[in-house]
A and B are shown apart, each in its own frame.
Chain A
Amino acid sequence: MFGFILQRLWQAIIVVIAMSALVFCGVYAVGNPIDVLISPDATQDIRAAVIAQYGLDQPLWQQYLTFIGRILHGDFGRSFVYSMPVSELILSRLPATLELTLVAVLFASLVGIPIGMYAGYKPHSPISRAIMALSILGFSVPTFWFGLMLIMVFAVQCGCMPAGGRGDTVSLFGVDFSFLTFDGLSHLVLPALNLSLFKFSLMIRLARAGTRELMLSDTVKFARAAGLSEFTLLSRHVLRLISIPLVTVFGLELGSTLAFAVVTETIFSWPGLGKLIINSITSLDRPVMVAYLMLVALLFIVINLVVDLTYALLDPRLRKGRA
Chain B
Amino acid sequence: MTDTVKPLATPLLEVTNLKTWFPSGRGEVKAVDSVSFSIAPGEVLGLVGESGSGKSITGFSIIGLIDEPGRIVEGSIKLEGRELVGLPAHELRAIRGKVISMVFQDPMMTLNPVLSIGMQIKLALEAHENISSSDARERAIKALAQVRISEPERKVDFFPHQFSGGMRQRVAIAIALLHRPKLIICDEPTTALDVSIQAEILAEMKELVSELGTALIWISHDLAVVSSIADRVAVMKSGQIVEIGPALAVLTKPQHEYTRALLDALPSRARPGQLLLRGSGIADAAPPPRKSATANLPPLGSPYLVIDDIVKRFEKPAGLFRSLAIKSGLSRPVSTVLAVGGVSITVSRGDVLGLVGESGSGKSTLGRMAAGITVPTSGTIRLNGQPVMSAGRSPKKITTRIQTIFQDPFASLNGRMRIGDIIAEGPLAHRLVSRAEAPGYVKQWLAAVGLDPAFADRFPHQFSGGQRQRIAIARALAMQPDVIVCDEPVASLDVSIQAQIINLLIRLRAELDLSLLFISHDLSVVRHLCDRVAIMYQGRIVEEGEAAEIYADPQHAYTKRLLAAVPVLPQAAE
Contact = CB atoms under 8 A, between A and B. Distances in A.
A226 B127 contact: yes
B115 interface: yes
A15 interface: no
B541 to A, nearest CB: 31
A219 interface: yes
Given A225-B101, A226-B175, A236-B115, A217 B127 contact: no
Given A316-B159, A317-B161, A222 B93 contact: no
Interface in B131-183: 159, 161, 172, 175-176, 178-179
Contacts of A236: 115, 123
Interface stretch (B80-88, B104-112, B274-282): B104-112
Contacts of B502: none
B111 A228 contact: no
B127 A229 contact: yes
A218 B113 CA distance: 12
A70 interface: no
Contacts of A7: 319, 321
A226 B113 contact: no
B114 A227 contact: no
- Contact-residue size bin, chain A (C-beta under 8 Å from the other chain): 20 to 34
Contact of A227 (B111, B128, B159): B128
Nearest to B122: A236
Contacts of B179: 227
Contact of A216 (B63, B67, B176): B67
A315 B114 CA distance: 5
Interface in A172-212: none
Contact of A225 (B94, B96, B116): B96
Given A221-B104, A225-B102, A227-B124, A316 B97 contact: no
Contacts, number: 89
Contact of B98 (A222, A224, A227): A227
Nearest to B125: A226
B65 interface: yes
A240 interface: yes
A226 B112 contact: no
Interface in A221-266: 221-229, 232, 236-237, 240-241
B111 A232 contact: no
Given A224-B65, A227-B127, A227-B128, A241 B96 contact: no
Given A218-B104, A225-B102, A232 B115 contact: no
A217 B104 CA distance: 11
Interface of B: 63, 65, 67, 93-98, 101-102, 104-106, 109-116, 123-124, 126-128, 159, 161, 172, 175-176, 178-179, 319, 321
5 contacts: A10-B321, A219-B109, A222-B111, A227-B179, A228-B124
Given A222-B172, A226-B175, A232-B127, 8 more contacts: A219-B112, A221-B110, A223-B112, A225-B102, A228-B127, A229-B93, A315-B113, A316-B161
The 6 closest A-B pairs by CB, nearest first: A227-B97, A225-B102, A226-B97, A316-B159, A218-B109, A222-B110
